[in-house]
Each structure stands twice: as C-alpha cells, then as structure tokens.
C-alpha cells in the first residue's frame, strides 16, 4: 500500500491550522492558564505571554503560515519515507 504524499501533507497542514488557531484563541482568552500548562510540560520554563505580540495581525498570519508550511513538509516527508521503506 502506498500513501498519497500530497493528501497526507494536506491533512497535516489542515490539522495544524485548526490546532494553531485554537491555541491562539486560548492564549487570547486565558493567557495565564496557557502559561501554567506550558510550565508543567517543560521543567524550568518561565513562559510569559506577550498579548500585544500574540494578537498582532502580522504575527498571527506569519506564524500560522510558517507552521502550516512546516507541517505540510513534515506530512509529505513522512509519506515519502513510508513509501520508500515499504518497497523493501
């Protein structure tokens, strides 16, 4: 069975777009809870959300596009790696 690399890449990017948007909404509504949760995941992290930067339209657009692009490349690479290894 071969994976369709573009389909998997698009799926990764769409999932990321949804998740990224939800994280931005979370940070806009309750930044303190986001900071506390992130401190639980990374020992010693002292995260402080900068609301002005977080809600800046240029930051929202650039970070969303950049992250979705990275996830698209990741999905495409995973599919190609799987297809390459499944030949053997």
pLDDT at position 50, please? Answer: 85
> SS3 of 47, please?
coil
Q: Are 10 and 18 in contact (CB under 8 A)?
A: no
pLDDT at position 88 is: 66
pLDDT value of position 26: 92
Q: Would the pTM of this model clear 0.75, i.e. be above it? A: yes
Q: Measure the CA angle with vertex 28, ends 27 and 33; round to 5°.
A: 40
The tens digit of pLDDT for each residue in 7-47 reads 999 999 999 999 999 999 999 899 999 888 888 888 887 88
pLDDT over 90, % of the chain: 66
Are 12 and 71 in contact, with CB atoms under 8 Å apart?
A: yes
Contact 52, 28 (CB under 8 A): no
Residue spans per domain, the chain: 5-86
């Amino acid at each position: 069975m071969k994976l369709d690399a573009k389909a998997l890449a698009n799926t990764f990017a769409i999932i990321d777009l949804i998740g990224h948007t939800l994280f931005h909404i979370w940070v806009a509504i309750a930044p303190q809870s986001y900071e506390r949760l992130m401190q639980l995941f990374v020992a010693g992290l002292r995260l402080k959300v900068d609301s002005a930067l977080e809600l800046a339209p240029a930051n929202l657009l650039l970070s969303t596009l950049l992250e979705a692009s990275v996830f698209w490349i990741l999905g495409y690479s995973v599919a190609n790696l799987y297809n390459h290894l499944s030949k053997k």
